């Protein structure tokens, strides 16, 4: 998501932190599926470590994030960012729109959801850019166990409703989702698409071509990967080449023709450089991983905060995310600079 934004699905993280197209965090699930064993203990240790750090460092989560709900003077806010490009860009976008609304705001990069979600509950982080389906399944598994019935679906409204049920008892407020979505996606080479006249996964299923999928080895059993492609689209999956989700090696395999399909994400900014194109998920196999803000309800539950973030949510698109990721990963621009340029171009910052 894939890194993890990890859902309980197959989805990879977007290209990013490594800068080479390798998913920065495979706990993002879709592979973002979180490593749940020992999660509670890990979370407790993580929060303890963050709290300890707050006590001995000027970069204090507690100090920076205490309160956004104050009366006259607006309290400071801490935006959490997972350790991959897209999450860092989103965090900068959030930071800058909140600062523009008058909130002293900082960004704290925390490697994965297992660490930042407990910190968000505790209030040492106040705001996090999230992915609806991934977070819903993460909280579902935490509450009901790894074998819990899935609550996320391809219906974004239904998925967000389920997410709210799980988040609110934890003191979290889920703000509205936008149209930007980062979810599992499958790509083929431009040559293969042209040869078989493909624009969608349904088109691929109708060809009866045997295809090898370049992905993680878990693709063989996860319902949103090989089994789902077979069941939903009738695609004849000959096998999985376990080169990883959205990695350079996987994309190169499809480019070279040793595999025909690669599992990546809808916001992968490197596909053009490999001569690859996405096929539309026209039967909605994948869950609704729309981007949305999640806040600590006590410290950052104000309407003014929600309104500031909504201005961004309402305009941000999937194509925008692709371009923002590309500027960071391919052009080596800084996340803060890319975010500022985008917000200014959309008229979201006061002159």
| pLDDT for 202 beyond 70 | yes
| pLDDT for 336 beyond 60 | yes
Using DSSP's 3-state secondary structure scheme, residue 319 falls into helix
Residues 6+ apart with CB under 8 A from 337: none
* Residue given tokens 């990546």 in the structure block: 264
What number of other Cβ atoms are within 10 A of residue 195's Cβ? 12
* Residue given tokens 């704290």 in the structure block: 108
Backbone phi, then psi, for 264, in 5-degree steps? -145, -145
Mean pLDDT, the chain, as a whole number? 84
Short-list 73, 15, 12, 29, CA closest to 214:
12
Short-list 222, 181, 176, CA closest to 322:
181
Two structure tokens written together for 169? 């008892």
Query: Which tens digit of pLDDT belongs to each residue from 143-196?
Result: 999 889 999 999 999 999 999 999 999 999 999 999 999 999 999 999 999 999
| pLDDT for 60 beyond 80 | no
- Mean predicted confidence (pLDDT) in 250-269: 96
Residue 212 in contact with residue 259, Cβ under 8 Å?
yes
Residue 290 in contact with residue 180, Cβ under 8 Å?
yes
| Alpha carbons 250 and 50: distance in angstroms, whole number | 36
Short-list 48, 115, 43, 131, CA closest to 80:
115
Question: Which pLDDT belongs to residue 112?
Answer: 80
| pLDDT for 347 beyond 90 | yes
pTM for the complete prediction?
Answer: 0.77
Dihedral of alpha carbons 121, 343, 5, 80, sign: negative
- Mean predicted confidence (pLDDT) in 322-348: 96
Question: Which pLDDT belongs to residue 74?
Answer: 82
| pLDDT for 283 beyond 60 | yes
- Mean predicted confidence (pLDDT) in 63-68: 34
Question: Which pLDDT belongs to residue 66?
Answer: 33
Query: Which tens digit of pLDDT belongs to each residue from 68-90?
Result: 333 446 899 999 998 889 999 99
* Residue given tokens 């001995």 in the structure block: 56
Short-list 244, 30, 262, 247, CA closest to 154:
30
């Amino acid at each position: 998501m894939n890194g993890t934004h990890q859902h309980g699905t197959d989805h990879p993280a977007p290209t990013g932190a490594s800068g080479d197209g390798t998913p920065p965090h495979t706990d993002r699930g879709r592979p973002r599926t979180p490593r749940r064993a020992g999660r509670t203990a890990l979370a407790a240790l993580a929060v303890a470590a963050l709290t300890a750090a707050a006590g001995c460092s000027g970069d204090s989560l507690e100090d920076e994030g205490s309160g956004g709900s104050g009366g006259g003077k607006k309290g400071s806010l801490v935006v959490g960012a997972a350790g991959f490009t897209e999450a860092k860009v989103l965090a900068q976008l959030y930071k800058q729109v909140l600062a523009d609304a008058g909130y002293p705001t900082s960004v704290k990069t925390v490697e994965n959801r297992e660490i930042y979600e407990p910190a968000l509950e505790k209030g040492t982080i106040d705001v996090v850019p999230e992915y609806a389906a991934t977070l819903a399944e993460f909280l579902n598994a935490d509450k009901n166990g790894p074998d819990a019935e899935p609550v996320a679906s391809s219906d974004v409204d239904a998925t967000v409703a389920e997410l709210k049920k799980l988040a609110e008892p934890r003191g979290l407020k889920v703000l509205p989702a936008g149209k930007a979505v980062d979810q599992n996606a499958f790509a083929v080479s431009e040559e293969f698409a042209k040869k078989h006249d493909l624009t969608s996964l349904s088109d691929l299923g109708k060809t009866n071509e045997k295809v090898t999928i370049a992905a993680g080895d878990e693709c063989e059993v996860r319902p949103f990967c090989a089994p789902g492609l077979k069941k939903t689209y009738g695609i004849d999956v000959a096998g999985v080449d376990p080169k990883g989700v959205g990695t350079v090696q996987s994309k190169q395999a499809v480019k070279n023709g040793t595999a025909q399909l690669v599992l990546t994400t809808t916001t992968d900014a490197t596909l053009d450089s490999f001569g690859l194109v996405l096929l539309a998920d026209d039967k909605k196999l994948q869950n609704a991983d729309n981007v949305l803000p999640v806040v600590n309800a006590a410290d950052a539950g104000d309407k003014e905060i929600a309104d500031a973030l909504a201005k961004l949510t309402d305009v941000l698109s999937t194509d925008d995310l692709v371009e923002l990721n590309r500027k960071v990963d391919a052009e080596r621009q800084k996340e803060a600079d890319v975010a500022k340029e985008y917000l200014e171009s959309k008229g979201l910052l006061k002159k």
